[in-house]
């Protein structure tokens, strides 16, 4: 039997070295009050945050920074950011960081327009409320190359009260803009580069072998696997190799498109209960 496929992507994908320069124009198109979601200190040290805020200021955009997002964002992390965005009537979320930061920004964008706590929407038995209102616009700017969160319809959130790590999931969660600038990954240390690349590789393999695989994602997965095979070791050995960084950033983006449209497998399913400890 011929399967009927469905393929969802971000509203716009901007890819390439120097792509961050376009964030001001894209942000101005989508809103005028920006909540910038950030990790702990890496983006301040690298100068990426300064570049981002300068571009926002140049486009006459008001912004506030919500930072210190942990590596495993919790329900409380999301709910606190949501309260801040609601109180000040922010109408655009920009997340600059790794997968956890992007997931946090994605979740906040959805919760600004929907009632309750993000815990009410997690894929937990007896919960899993459906989103009733479209999120405010969200721009995802990854600074690692692994999770592919810039292209996915889910966000992984830790529920500390229940001791669970579960997703919220909806096509509405796919970012309005995925802005992938490989230059933002040049400062990543070798270990982080390696494990993130491994994550992207696993996502491609799981998507390709899964029951929900389809021709589009199969093609993307195979191409991404080739890019990882070609360039991951190079990026680990020489972090300033921009060509290798570009290949791995593309592979991570493609892995996100694959998992969002064809799902994953046992490896990622097992990582959630293990990751709570």
Q: What is the pLDDT of residue 3?
A: 74
DSSP 3-state assignment of 221? helix
Which residues of the chain have a pLDDT value below 70? 1-2, 125-126, 265-277
> Looking at the domain assignment, is residue 54 inside a domain?
yes
**Residue 2 lies inside a defined structural domain of this protein:** no
**Which domain CATH number covers 130?**
3.40.50.1970
- Write down the pLDDT at residue 265: 64
- Distance (Å, whole) CA 151 – CA 179: 10
Instruction: Please count the structural domains in the chain.
Output: 1
Question: DSSP labels for 61-115?
Answer: -EEEEE----SS-BHHHHHHHHHHHHHTT--EEEEEESHHHHHHHHHHHHHTTS-
Q: Which of 180, 149, 176 shows the shortest CA–CA distance to 260?
A: 149
In a domain, 160, yes or no: yes
Q: What per-residue confidence (pLDDT) applies to 164? A: 87
Indicate whether 3 belongs to any domain: no
Contact residues for 35 (Cβ-Cβ < 8 A; gap 6+): 63, 64, 66, 81, 84, 85, 88, 90, 92, 93, 94, 108
Alpha carbon distance 57, 208 (integer Å): 43
Bridge partners of 139, per DSSP, are: 94, 177
CA-wise closest residue to 159 among 103, 119, 199: 119
**Rounded distance between C-alpha atoms, residue 51 and residue 25, angstroms:** 14
CA angle 117, 172, 220 (to 5 degrees): 125
C-alpha distances in angstroms, 92 versus 62, 135, 139, 216?
10, 9, 8, 31
Domain that holds residue 75: 12-275
**Residue 126 within any structural domain of the chain:** yes
d(CA 98, CA 103) in angstroms, rounded, equals: 9
Task: Give the integer Cα–Cα distance in Å for 174 and 122.
Answer: 16
pLDDT for the residue 98:
96
pLDDT value at position 276? 56
**What pLDDT does 237 receive?**
98
Give residue 39's pLDDT: 93
Tokens of 237: 């050995």
Q: What is the pLDDT of residue 41?
A: 82
| Inside any domain, residue 161 | yes
In a domain, 207, yes or no: yes
Q: What is the pTM of this model?
A: 0.94
Residue 6 lies in a domain: no
pLDDT in tens, 116-134: 999 999 988 667 899 999 9
Residue 270 has a pLDDT of 59
HSE of 162 in the Cβ direction (CA atoms, 13 Å)?
18
| Among 96, 63, 66, residue whose Cα is nearest residue 79 | 66
């Amino acid at each position: 039997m011929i399967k009927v496929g469905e393929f969802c992507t971000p509203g716009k994908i901007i890819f390439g070295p120097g792509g961050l320069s376009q964030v001001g124009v894209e942000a101005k198109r989508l809103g005028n009050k920006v909540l910038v979601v950030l990790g702990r200190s890496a983006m301040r040290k690298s100068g990426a945050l300064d570049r981002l805020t300068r571009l926002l200021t140049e486009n006459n955009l008001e912004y506030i920074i919500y930072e210190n997002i942990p590596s495993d964002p919790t329900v409380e992390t999301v709910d606190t950011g949501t309260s801040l965005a609601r109180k000040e009537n922010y109408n655009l979320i920009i997340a600059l960081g790794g997968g956890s930061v992007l997931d946090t920004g994605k979740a906040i964008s959805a919760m600004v327009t929907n009632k309750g706590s993000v815990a009410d929407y997690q894929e937990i038995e007896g919960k899993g409320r459906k989103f009733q209102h479209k999120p405010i616009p969200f721009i995802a700017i990854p600074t690692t190359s692994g999770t592919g969160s810039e292209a996915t319809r889910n966000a992984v959130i830790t529920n500390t009260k229940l001791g669970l790590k579960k997703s919220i999931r909806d096509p509405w969660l796919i970012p309005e803009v995925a802005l992938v600038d490989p230059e933002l990954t040049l400062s990543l240390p070798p270990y982080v580069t390696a494990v993130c690349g491994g994550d992207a590789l696993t996502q491609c393999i799981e998507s390709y072998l899964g029951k929900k695989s389809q021709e589009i994602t199969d093609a993307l997965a195979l191409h991404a696997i080739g890019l990882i095979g070609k360039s991951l070791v190079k990026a680990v050995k020489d972090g300033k190799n921009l060509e290798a960084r570009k290949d791995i950033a593309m592979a991570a983006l493609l892995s996100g498109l694959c998992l969002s449209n064809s799902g994953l497998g046992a490896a990622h399913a097992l990582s959630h209960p293990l990751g709570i400890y």
